[in-house]
Amino acid sequence: MAKVSLSSLEQAEQLNISPDYVRLSMAAAIELGLKKGRLFRDAHCGCINLLQNYPEGCYANCTYCGLARERPGVPEDNTFIRVAWPLFPTDLVAEKIAEHQDRVGRVCIAQVQDHRAYDDLIDMTKRVRRLSDVPISALVSATTLNEERLHIIKDAGADIIGVGLDAASEEVFYHTRGKGTRGPHTWEYHWHIVRAARQLFGAMKVNCHIIVGLGETDLELVNLFYQLKSEQIAGYLFSFNPEPGTDMQHAPRAPLHRWRRIQLIKYLIENRDLPREVIEFDSVGEIAAIHAPDMMVEVAINTGMPFMTNGCPDKNGVMACNRPYGSYRPGEDFRDYPIQPDEDDLIQIRQQMRLEEVWGMAYSSV
């Protein structure tokens, strides 16, 4: 990645960097009227996702991330989760959020790994809070934080903390985010911040992002789901989608049937108290069988909710962060639905899951 020789002060004077400028997801820019366009099937972007902007990109070196330190090219040309993030003045964005707060359910401000990121997160949070009462999530880089800083983030106006754990196990973390990538992150410190935030912000006010397809097993994912549930920490699923130019650019995506099954099992664990012992795994940690009651499975599938985007809620508790095209490209099959799946969608979802392979010819009752 190209490096910038200007000092921080010179950068602030000459470049459009945070906290005075911020990147928006394209869907958020369309929602706020800052970019022209409309979303497929009249979806709307319920959460305005903001991303800090620095000329170096990010000092972390995650193998799958478009902002990784060692990704080739100029940082401003890079993408993040395979979509463009146009740049706007932060104050303009805060004004637009206030104008559209009848449609905006939440704002999420995402840190990158940079020595300025924490101070700028506080500044940007306060700018949004001054103009509206829209709930604010802070998607933090745990490595930049400590307990005192968590208190200050809360006082600045954020009511939810999100942490990009991403990996489902310590080993996967090491090889995709940690020391194995020449990066600054550690599994232990991420969990330290997650649990400190959980104690401060409260039950289900902290969430961990989890990416399916980084090399983890189904067993590791299921174990993590039960752990998060036991600690009253939310888990939000993302489907790995390789970014060009990253170390994992040629890594395969999780097969769609695996992704759908993981979505369903996570939903059943969180919302239907699926017992741990009904899930069987093979010798390599993949799901071999699930002995769940017929009615439990049928009702869950028919709601369509297991297959919708996981994300932070609005002030009424309704999921706001639907991230249109966050895990797939326009024209591809939906990975997570930003809208309620309709009857045709559910037919397709059932075909994609291939549940008969793990449930048998008919769902097994317990």
Element (H, E) at 23: strand 21-24
Question: Contact at 8 Å (CB) between 194 and 235?
Answer: no
55: helix, strand or coil: coil
**Distance (Å, rounded) from C-alpha 366 to C-alpha 363?**
10
**Distance (Å, rounded) from C-alpha 240 to C-alpha 161?**
22
* DSSP assignment letter at 336: S
364 in a domain, yes or no? no
Q: Residues of the chain whose pLDDT is less than 70?
A: 1-14, 71-83, 325, 330, 360-366
Pairing of strands 21-24, 47-52: antiparallel
The pLDDT score that the predictor gives to residue 313 is 97
Q: How many domains does the structure of the chain reveal?
A: 1
239 in a domain, yes or no? yes
Instruction: Give the model confidence (pLDDT) of 6-60 as tens digits.
Output: 566 555 544 799 999 999 998 899 999 999 988 878 788 999 999 999 987 788 9
365 in a domain, yes or no? no
**Distance (Å, rounded) from C-alpha 7 to C-alpha 75?**
17
The pLDDT score that the predictor gives to residue 3 is 52
3 in a domain, yes or no? no
Give the rounded distance of the alpha carbon of 116 from its chain centre. Answer: 22
1 in a domain, yes or no? no
148 in a domain, yes or no? yes
88: helix, strand or coil: strand
2 in a domain, yes or no? no
State both tokens at 33. 């009227």
**Residue 313, preceding bond cis, omega within 30 degrees?**
no
The pLDDT score that the predictor gives to residue 75 is 47
366 in a domain, yes or no? no
Domain housing 74: 8-359
Q: Give the CATH number, domain containing residue 109.
A: 3.20.20.70
The pLDDT score that the predictor gives to residue 361 is 36
Q: Is 251 exposed, middle or buried (0-12, 13-18, 19+ CB in 10 A)?
A: middle
The pLDDT score that the predictor gives to residue 272 is 96
The pLDDT score that the predictor gives to residue 269 is 97
The pLDDT score that the predictor gives to residue 1 is 44
The pLDDT score that the predictor gives to residue 362 is 39
**Distance (Å, rounded) from C-alpha 161 to C-alpha 239?**
21
The pLDDT score that the predictor gives to residue 73 is 53
